[in-house]
Amino acid sequence: MSQSRKLYIKTYGCQMNVYDSERMAEALGGQGYTQTDTPDDADMIVLNTCHIREKAAEKVYSELGRFRQLKADKPDLKIGVAGCVAQAEGEEIMRRQPLVDLVVGPQSYHRLPALEARARAGEKALDTDFPEEAKFDDLPARPKATRGPTAFLTVQEGCDKFCAFCVVPYTRGAEVSRPAARVLDEARGLVERGVREITLLGQNVNAYHGHAGGLAGLVRDLAAIDGLERIRYTTSHPNDMDDALIAAHGEIGKLMPYLHLPVQAGSDRILKAMNRKHTAESYLRLIERIRAERPDILLSGDFIVGFPGETEEDFQATLDLVAEVEYGQCYSFKYSPRPGTPAAEKAHVDEATKDDRLQRLQALLKSQQHAVQDRMVGREVGVLFEKAGREPGQMVGKSEYLHSVFVDAPDARVGDLVPVTVTASAPNSLAGRLRSAA
């Protein structure tokens, strides 16, 4: 039996990185590692990084700098960098921060035990390949310990779209889908451990082709699993919303009425410059079709303001699209260049203009979110309790629309899925009472 050691993983970025961190911890479990919540008593620290946000690499180097004294006090401590910054920076990480012992890209973390063994032997270990073997095939079976009621499950990785602003095709590689049989096996194992809701993950998840019926076919098979009550998926590209998947939103009760469908901009000129390969009009007609299948669906999206070349007229087109769609939730950002992407070489919009446009867009999005939440008051929703609230007897969970709902439910337990009447709307959450409560 391997010596017992402690592992600290800090996760940056998207839900896929959360899933990846779980699998890395499981892979290192065979080396005798158990997780700890603090780096101070860790024998190994792994930063699982994301390259999407601005200055992502610099933030990682800053975090590594904080471990310098800890490494000096504990010479046997091993420090690793994983994820997309690791893929993009490679050997540069070790050059700039010699305290780093291993660097592993997001497609190679199934090799983490071997890399850890090399680092433990005093070598510097680096693996940022796109290996021929599928990493999911080589990962250990997931442990049987009970877990919370919700889980992420990666079904697809990589992207072939090459949007002009995005590093994902360079850090995650081409689109790859996991075979449906393996996804279903993992899902059944999660349900056996107490999971009631699964969110399917992919950089471009609706491009999933590991099932003959595509993502819709996979969702239908997942819906047949006893004990799995809810299914979600993220993140999608408008060009891959096929007829079967649109129909699934109206036909599969376990597929939740929430869809994150990024558009990025409302100007066709900017969409073309972004290499999005769809128009504002095609996106709006797609939304119409989805709402025809599931009228109560809550829509979420992503927007970039200040993309190179964006004029005030272009930005107004974005505001017009937002006004027509009415989003229940959205993420919006100022454009920031990613080295190596086509947009990084173009003339940039000045920061003051970007700041102004972002504030105007966010004000509109926030007003829409509040209006959608206000209309929920008086409605009944299903809430899957995930944790205890701040107040005695209070529970917190998610509705089918992904709203956080706070409920006085002293007899409830984590994992209960209960009908709740919404009684109030707060800026980023709802309050409710149990159906049986007076």
Token digits of residue 73: 């006090």
Q: What is the pLDDT of residue 108?
A: 83
Distances (CA, A) of 207 to 201, 210, 414: 11, 9, 33
392 and 368 housed in the same domain:
no
End residue of a domain, out of 92, 127, 162? 127
Q: What is the pLDDT of residue 248?
A: 98
226 and 367 housed in the same domain:
yes
**Which residues is 419 bridged to in the sheet?**
382
Cite the beta strand spans of 162-309 per DSSP E: 176-177, 197-201, 230-234, 258-260, 298-305
From the list 255, 234, 302, the residue with the least C-alpha distance to 274 is 302
Range of the domain at 13: 5-127
Distances (CA, A) of 431 to 372, 373, 383, 395: 14, 11, 11, 10
pLDDT digits (tens, 9 = 90+) for 3-52: 689 999 999 877 888 888 988 998 898 888 999 999 999 999 999 988 76
Task: Judge whether 132 lies within some domain.
Answer: no
Task: Judge whether 245 lies within some domain.
Answer: yes
Helix axes 312-325, 280-293, angle to 10 degrees: 10
* Verdict on whether the full-model pTM lies above 0.75: yes
112 and 235 housed in the same domain:
no
Other C-beta atoms closer than 10 Å to the C-beta of 310 total 24
Going by the annotation, the residues of the binding site are 14, 50, 84, 159, 163, 166
Token digits of residue 291: 């709402």
User: What is the domain count for the chain?
Assistant: 3
Q: How confident is the model at residue 278 (pLDDT cuts 50, 70, 90)?
A: very high
> d(Cα 141, Cα 189) in Å, to the nearest integer?
9
pLDDT digits (tens, 9 = 90+) for 47-66: 998 876 667 778 888 999 99
Going by the annotation, the residues of the binding site for [4Fe-4S] cluster are 14, 50, 84, 159, 163, 166
End residue of a domain, out of 330, 347, 374? 374
Q: How confident is the model at residue 1 (pLDDT cuts 50, 70, 90)?
A: very low
192 and 110 housed in the same domain:
no
Query: What burial class does residue 69 get, using C-beta atoms within 10 Å of its C-beta: 0-12 exposed, 13-18 middle, 19+ buried?
Result: exposed
Instruction: Please report, for the domain that includes residue 414, its CATH number.
Output: 2.40.50.140
Q: Is residue 70 over pLDDT 90?
A: yes
